[in-house]
Chains A and B, each alone.
Chain A
Amino acid sequence: METKNQTKTTAVKGTLTAGMIRELVRNIYRSAHEAKAQGKKVAYFMVASQYDEIVRAMDIVPIPTENYAGLCAAKRDMERFLLRAEEDGYSQVLCSYARIGLGFDSLRKELGKIPENAPDGGMPEPDMMLGSSAVCDPRFKWYQAAGRYLNVPSYSIDVVAPPVQADLNEVRDYYIRYQTEQFRGLIAFLEEQTGKKLDEDRLWETIKLGDEAWRLWYEIDRLRVAVPCPMPTQDHFSIMVAGHYYCGTQVAVDFYRQLYEEVKSKVEEGQGVIPVEKYRLLYGGGLPPWHTLWIFNYFESFGAVFVIENVYRGYDPVEVPSYVKDPVEYLAWRAFLRFTQRHERARKNSGHPVVERLLQLIDDYKIDGVVFHACRSCRATTVGQIHIKNLLGRYTDIPMMQLVSDMVDLRDYSEAQWKAQIGGFIDALSARSKR
């Protein structure tokens, strides 16, 4: 594969508010360093584990290790960490987020300090590691492996979702019961580590903040149905930081309020991302190419804008029954409802909840084409894309394309190949629009 040095990795954003995210990212690692200095507890953690609000309610400062890998890629400072992990015996096809994290921990252990000039000051040594089985397998195995470099306690929880074929009335009770017990296990662990009991009122508070942030985020995405597109996908890849890395805090709520106002005003003024919007694209799935986000601007040079995406905001707001009065049970219910919200529809139609979501997006957002990103080292978000594409093809004839690289490992990326593929895709969009 061709590798080429690019000095520019980021994309030009469509909104001003998205520009604020850079400071929020810096603040993640700065806060963690400050917390360490003040003797507060900091934890490696995995986003979208459904436990965000618990961690916040326990006043633990989270260090999202996956995000750090993405940051390293955006800064094109990933090679030293990737190579270090591979030198330590980890495969070159292992999740590259995990490789960067393990490589970073390995170097920090060897040096006895943060590796020199690490992006955003690097990750401090955590007091604990909180894994989960949500999204993918490496998210609990990674922290188990990190025990090579860190002599700190770790705790992982299961996050379970029933398959689409399951009769929800049959499985609901035991899924929610197990999820609740898993959360309670985590709480017991955190109480032991911090020496303080969980305050349930405080947990309700963080849950309300988490729900409000995700509601606002949903509303912002609903505004994005407008033509021309007021906020492109490259902005989404920035603004998801608030929903995932600040979930359960006022920061996320304030950020989305401000973004909502900006997007709303763009819609009212009919202000789009580019002057002439010829093609409206859907980012169908896969982690972003953090090393090459400018590619979205490259699409725009052909009049193609990514108007919506199927990643990071994986579920719409759900309504937990009002008889659920316990905040931990609430979280378990919420997780169950989030994961199953398209099951019934899928059973009646395509048989696949993601396909249902994409069909809805294609319809609502007047989509002309779909692009997927397959990552060489990510099984969870990549395996199944071809299948989804095949199923979608039974319901729509819009052009679809799968680009292949990796979320952070540049060695799996070929600019020439991508540009050739994009050229062909644009031709297909153009041909279809002339029909």
Chain B
Amino acid sequence: MISHMPPGLIMILAAFLLPVIPHVWRQIYMLGAIALSAYGLFLGAGTHLVWTVLGLDLILYQADALSLPFAIIFHLAAVLNVIYSWHDRDWQQHCASLSYAGAAIAALHAGDLVSLFVWWEATAVTSVFLILASGTERARKAAMRYLLFQVTSGVLLLAGAAILASTSGDIRFTKMDLGDAATWLIFIAFGIKAAFPFLNGWLQDAYPEATPTGTVALSAFTTKLAIYALARGFPGTDILIWIGAAMTALPVFFAVIENDLRRVLAFSLNNQLGFMVVAVGIGTELALNGAVAHAFVHIIYKALLFMSMGAVLHQVGTIKASELGGLYKKMPFTMVCCIIGAMSISAFPLFSGFVAKSLTMSALGDAGIVWAYFVLLFASAGVLEHSGIKIPYFAFFAHDSKIETGEAPIGMRVAMGIAAFLCVGIGVFPSLLYSILPYAVDYHPYDAGHVTSQMQLLIFAMLAFVVLVRLKLYPPEIPSVVLNSDWFYRRLAPMVGLPLLRMVMLVWSGLLHQMRGLVDAIWDMLDRIMHSPLAGPTVSGRAVLIQAGLLALLLLIAYAAAG
């Protein structure tokens, strides 16, 4: 019975009982729910649950070679979240986190666009509580903006699905060709969640406002669900190469000057999504393997980086680079984990990023898309700059901030340890990862030429950093806000919109005033008629006069009808 339920659904149902389960047991209970959900994956590939509603076949549980690697890593991320938040007694956050992961997993197994929409929205309404849980006014506002974007994405997806249902009657979630309104709506819906350029503001706006544990959960699911959706719906769509390349390159510059280290990681997350989007755009088997492999390892090392920064935030109370530094002695374990995450994301050989990113880069080379290849190579140096160097450097080294603190709670450290172990394990034994990719892999990342190329890029970029620091040319961290695409709706729209709105309101109130005058004039006229009729008795009230008028009108109509 349980094995035929869509994976993830059991986690959502389990979340309802969390408030009544005491702390610690709650964590064990959540691990049990995740294990039960994962057990459902053993049903293997195929369509396992279809529900016919209003003449539509809703495919609630469908699995294949594309959904499996995402399902595995989503379950793993959910487990890491539970362990990382072991110390946390706030059941609301656990509820949100477990049901959010469950919704994302269920979405992976939706075989039609309407089911996908349901889970797509469910990820939005569950995850928003992870931002709200911060309890600050800033977080509340960011959460509302986040929800607005997420729900818009869902509405666009539903609109696209509705058009498809009415035109072709086929709502199965399969490969689509970008062309008509329906596919464009769905494409933009995916694009919002995948944080396409100019649709990305919500990501850097909201993720860093969530709780230390909440951001870790957020970093795993929403955007990677979008990558999965793009890989299923739009593989080989050329425009994705352009969009993805822009996504890899642009956030790099913002990340250099951002002061909030979790926001730096949010920019970095955006950049990493770019690599995956490019890979989906290429669309070859090697490239799609690259997109999936990248999403898989990215969830682990990005979670590790967010976990290490979350640990710092939990212990120190701030994550601003300008206030941190020198924590390597106070939090050595966190520092080592952070550096492992940093080396993984930078794609050092023997770390997980290398074995995944190599697939995409090779696919780009094979496809002969040279310009994109060099943009991604450039972005690789950018990744090293902000995630490889800036994050560990400003948190743990740079200068002595004289902050007295210690290591994070044991649960946080265990989760970081597991993630770090996986980063190295996958890097050393890539065949483990390659064996679960959608297409058969005959790829060997560790050839001498490839390794030396990558090492040259990274080591000499690091030397550039050393030169800049030694010459005091590296920009110091400044307490500040970096404007991003959210500026358009947080500042520009009110700047343009508010005067416009005021003008409309002015015209409206003028119109109302005029109409009120008109009404008064009509009443005055009625009163005059009542008090000084041309003939007959004085009418006792306005209502009587109106009734008399209406009766006269009826009489006229009756005469006209009879005539």
Please say whether chains A and B are actual partners in one complex. no
